[in-house]
A = this chain, B = another copy of it.
Amino acid sequence: MLMRMSTLFLRTLRDDPVDAEVDSHRLLVRAGYIRRAAPGIYTWLPLGLKVLAKVEQVVREEMAAAGAQEIHFPALLPREPYEATNRWTEYGPNLFRLHDRRGNDYLLAPTHEEMFTLVVKDLYSSYKDLPLALYQIQTKYRDEARPRAGLLRGREFIMKDAYTFDIDAESHAASYQAQRDAYERIFARLGLPYVIVTATSGAMGGSRSEEFLSPSPIGEDTYVRSAGGYAANVEAVTTPVPEPVPFDGAPAAHVEDTPDTPTIASLVDVANARFPRPDGSWTAADTLKNVVVALTHPDGGREVVVIGLPGDREVDLKRLEAAVEPAAVEAAGDADFAAHPELVKGYIGPSALGPNAAGARDVAPDGRVLAGAVRYLLDPRVVPGTRWITGADEAGRHVFELVAGRDFTADGTIEAAEVRAGDPAPDGSGPLELARGIEMGHVFDLGTKYSQALGLTVLDQNGKSRVVHMGSYGVGVSRAVAALAENFHDERGLTWPVAVAPAHVHIIATGKDEAVFTAAEEIATQAQERGLEVLIDDRRKVSPGVKFADAELLGVPVVVVVGRGLADGVVEVRRRAAGVTEEVKVAGAAGHVAEVVASLR
């Protein structure tokens, strides 16, 4: 393959695009790999498409190695299958919905569990047909509220999605492992660093899932690890629950005037000054903060929820969202407070909340407290016997020594408090460290969620009908291009690994001497004969400085500069990433380049 800078559809840009927040976005646009068509929607220019095709090829090869067969579903799908699994509703505003000319409802698919389930139901009927693994590489749609960071969170994007079908959980475990192994090979071949973490399943449902995260400070996901091997997305971290504390003989709760305590810190100061604790000083961890949020359930119902958590921790919105999924979260508004006069802003306390306060209450299957009551959920640390300073449900007053389990109860617990470095791992494997990562892959044990909803059963060896056990496995293919750029760049531009680079070698002819261009063309021909993909800068009226800068920006792994040295029979060979330059004889240049490329693989 030979590309020529003189004709390549490319213009590198000096300036960063104004909407670029992250390096990969900035550089992929500046280097002419992608171009924005609309918010979160990108066009692939020639070099970008070559990188994308290489990523796809790696994914295809490893899917084939895992025994998965490729098929291809439409992106435009009828509503009915997604209605059957309730995802037509659950996806909320993230789903692009439309009608056809007859008024029938369609969607642009964000993922294809329903369709894969139905096609297997359509074709297969016996345990002998299983196990089965199918996949596609396909364009998907998600109407993100905040598309950002170029390809990292787009509204039209390319995914590899695979699905496995097994007769039982045991067989599924092997299918799951085969996909998980394939993912490890894919990311290793791409050169993309990754960690595997326990995750929540979100809209996908099912019982178990793991994410492949590429560590990056600009990643949207936060994950934790312990020295003892625990690794999880913060969304999936469960708080170790302390033992209950005996509260026999604990002092009675007492309500106090606490004016001018708008913050936890000011409350703690007042408490220590005016109501000193016999057994030490009060800290923020002794206060119980009650945070009001409003949930919108998929059926459109709005619910006010109060979350009680130690005052030294914030609510982590992503953990909260994961905990209440598929409901959507927003801050409670004036109307919510008006509807619930028991919520005294700034002084909300558990005394007015929870079953104790409200008496017996009916609860819906999704946890909602019926009849429009406020639901009260506690951080798991608030175990019976813990003593708190908290709101007294009257302006300017707090209650002290309020004991959980004695003075108040809740409707349940919730994992919504932030996870902090140093928190204990839930499995006891030591303190947690936090880091950020880009979600590159996600593997799900779906159980029978989709097969049950859509009636995918097979007959087993005894002629009995069995609901098929499914798994679902995604790789963000277009996102991988961005994650690679995020990992492989420096201040001058991109530094692609050989496996995904748009070309192996970038040959630059500098100066005006015809012999330079002739020699560059000869090296290009010889390099192609050695199976290398070549980009040659054969532009006649462009300065060496511009050509060098373009080469740095484009990031082809090996750069050959044919210039003044040619008079002495030498050319320069640079390794773009390492920044190492050597002079080699022009006669052996192509062979040398081939060796360098091989050494970089």
Interface residues of A (CB under 8 A from B): 7-11, 32, 35, 37-38, 41-46, 49, 52, 67, 69-78, 93-94, 96-98, 100-101, 106, 108, 115, 119, 122-124, 132, 134, 139, 141, 143, 145, 155-156
Contact = CB atoms under 8 A, between A and B. Distances in A.
A73 B37 contact: yes
A96 B119 contact: no
By Cβ-Cβ distance, the 4 closest A-B pairs, closest first, are: A98-B98, A44-B72, A11-B123, A93-B101
Contact of A101 (B11, B98, B106, B143): B143
B75 A49 contact: no
A115 B37 contact: yes
Contacts of A37: 73-74, 77-78, 115
Nearest to A80: B38
Q: How many copies does the complex hold?
A: 2
Contacts of A94: 101
B9 A71 contact: yes
A42 B74 contact: yes
Contact of A69 (B8, B67, B74, B145): B8
Given A73-B37, A78-B37, A100 B45 contact: no
Contact of A49 (B7, B11, B72, B139): B72
A471 to B, nearest CB: 16
A52 B338 CA distance: 61
A37 to B, nearest CB: 5
Given A45-B71, A71-B46, A78 B38 contact: yes
A261 to B, nearest CB: 40
B97 A98 contact: yes
Contacts of A139: 75, 139
A96 B78 CA distance: 13
A148 to B, nearest CB: 15
Contacts of A93: 101
Nearest to A11: B123
A367 to B, nearest CB: 26
A144 to B, nearest CB: 9
Contacts of A101: 93-94, 143, 145
A38 B76 contact: yes
B156 A74 contact: yes
A145 B102 CA distance: 9
Given A37-B73, A37-B115, A72-B49, A9 B98 contact: no
Given A43-B71, A71-B49, A132 B76 contact: no
Nearest to A107: B98
A342 B258 CA distance: 90
A115 B43 contact: yes
B122 A73 contact: no
Nearest to A157: B74
Tell me which of A9, A38, A155 has the highest count of chain B C-beta atoms within 10 A of its own C-beta. Answer: A9
Nearest to A64: B1
B38 A77 contact: yes
Contacts of A115: 37, 43
Contacts of A49: 70-72
Tell me which of A32, A38, A72, A77 has the highest count of chain B C-beta atoms within 10 A of its own C-beta. Answer: A72
B75 A156 contact: yes
B75 A75 contact: yes
Nearest to A3: B69
A52 B124 CA distance: 24
Contacts of A71: 9, 43-46, 49
Contact of A70 (B46, B72, B73): B46
Contacts of A134: 9
Nearest to A97: B98
Contacts of A74: 37-38, 41-43, 156
Contacts of A38: 74, 76-78, 106
Nearest to A8: B69
A420 B148 CA distance: 59
A46 B135 CA distance: 10
A35 B116 CA distance: 12
Nearest to A1: B64
Nearest to A52: B72
Nearest to A108: B76
A3 to B, nearest CB: 9
Nearest to A144: B101
A78 to B, nearest CB: 5
A77 B37 CA distance: 7
Contacts of A76: 38, 41, 96, 108, 141, 155-156
A7 B98 CA distance: 37
